[in-house]
Structure formats: C-alpha cells, structure tokens
Amino acid sequence: MAGGWAMVPILICSAIALAIVLERCWTLRRKSVLPPGLGDEVREWARTGQLYPAHLEALTNGSPLGELLASALAVRNQPRDIIKERIEDTGRHVIHRMERYLNTLGTIALIGPLLGLFGTVIGLIRMFMEVMAGGIGDPAKMAGGIGEALICTASGLTVAIPAYVLHRYFRSRVAGYCVEMEKQATALLDDLTLTQSAAAATPAPTRARRTPAPSAPSAG
C-alpha cells in the first residue's frame, strides 16, 4: 500500500514469476527429462529386436528423452538420413516444450525495473503536485511521495533480479539436457545403422536346386 497503485502490476508479475519457477523446477528435474539408464536400455531393445508397440508408446509418454528415442525407433527400417531428420524434427518439439514459459519469465525480468521506474515517476509526480497545491510547508507529503517512489523502484528490482537469474539458469539447464539427448540419439542412430548394415550383408538363404531326373531311354 505504501508503494501506491503502481505496485499492483509488480505484485502480479512476482506471483507469475514464482509460479513459473516452481513449475519449471518440477518439470526440468534431471530424472524426469533424462531417466538414468534409459539410453542403454533402448539400444539393447534395438539390438535384440524387442521393439513392441507397447514399448514405444511407454517410451514416448515417459520422458523427453524417451520421446526422442522413440521417434528414431518408429522409422528404424528407413535410411539413416530419414531417421536423422525424424530425430531433428522431434527434437525441436521437445526443446520447445522444455522452454515453455521461459520467455514469460524473461519478459518479467525485463519489465520489472521498468515497472519500478514507472512507479517512481508516479510517486515523484504526486509529490510535486502536492507541493504545487499546498507549498513546501508539509515535509510529510514530500516524504510520502519520495517513499512511494523508492518502494516501487526496490520492488521492481526485487522481482526482476531473481527472475533474470532463474531465466538464465533454466536456459542453461535446457541447453545441457539438449547436449545429453543429442548424444543418446546419436548413439542409437549408430546402432540402428550398424543393424541395417549387418542385415544387408547377411546373404538370403537360397533353395537347393533340384537335379532333374534322367529321362527314360526310348525304345528303338
């Protein structure tokens, strides 16, 4: 209340930023994005041919890494370029979901100081308007305007600084996850390529040619 009505948008931004931070902390946990041992397990499925529809569905719905690997397994019989293209397409969607709400958090970090500056200007304007109306005989009125300005400035910075730091932190975390997922996807792609090469090099079984029976001699 001491900061005036300009504090309302600052408080709204702080509530939104807090909700985003809590949601991203829960969503971007390492074990939920990169389950331990999932890459090795999927590559073992690919080598042994244990690729059932139920496996692929559970893999897709389990984690971002699982969705990326499942997209490669869905086209495992296609050439390497097609598998790689499918991985890249799925990877863009996965990264977009991992970066959800981060633009909003970055926007709050950007406009927080501006909202504080706006409140500062409003407080100073109010102070000067009161001075113009009643003179400078009442120092309490001037102190109230200055206090309102300083409270808005401090509040805007209090919201903006943590929002900016956490925005950079989540961006860095997502970038690290992308590198790890790329490594796992590349390893699976190499295994699928080797499997295709081994299958192509294996000669197909041929039927034994049956020797025709000798014809009976004609009576002459």
Report the pLDDT value the prediction gives residue 2, as an integer from 0 to 100: 57
- Cα–Cα distance measured from residue 29 to residue 52, given in angstroms and rounded to the nearest whole number: 28
Residue 157 inside a domain? The answer is no
- Cα–Cα distance measured from residue 185 to residue 90, given in angstroms and rounded to the nearest whole number: 11
Residue 138 inside a domain? The answer is no
Taking 90 as the threshold, does the pLDDT of residue 21 lie above it? yes
Residue 1 inside a domain? The answer is no
Residue 212 inside a domain? The answer is no
Residue 109 inside a domain? The answer is yes
Its domain, for residue 92, covers: 10-113+164-197
Q: Which pair of tokens denotes residue 6?
A: 């300009």
Report the pLDDT value the prediction gives residue 143, as an integer from 0 to 100: 65
Q: How many CB atoms lie within 10 A of CB 91?
A: 18
- Cα–Cα distance measured from residue 67 to residue 80, given in angstroms and rounded to the nearest whole number: 18
Give 13's pLDDT tier (boundaries 50, 70, 90).
Answer: very high
- Cα–Cα distance measured from residue 177 to residue 26, given in angstroms and rounded to the nearest whole number: 15
pTM of the model: 0.79
Q: How far is CA 63 from the centre of its chain?
A: 11
For the residues 98-124, what does the mean pLDDT come to? 89
Q: What are 156-167's pLDDT values in tens digits?
A: 899 999 999 999
CB contact burial 41-76 (16+ within 10 A = b; e otherwise):
bbbebbeeeeeeeeebeebbeebbbbbbbbbbbbeb
Report the pLDDT value the prediction gives residue 219, as an integer from 0 to 100: 41
Residue 151 inside a domain? The answer is no
Residue 103 inside a domain? The answer is yes
Taking 50 as the threshold, does the pLDDT of residue 125 lie above it? yes
**How many domains does the structure of the chain reveal?**
1
Token pair 């792609």 in the structure block, residue = 189
Taking 70 as the threshold, does the pLDDT of residue 4 lie above it? no
Taking 90 as the threshold, does the pLDDT of residue 152 lie above it? no
Residue 181 inside a domain? The answer is yes
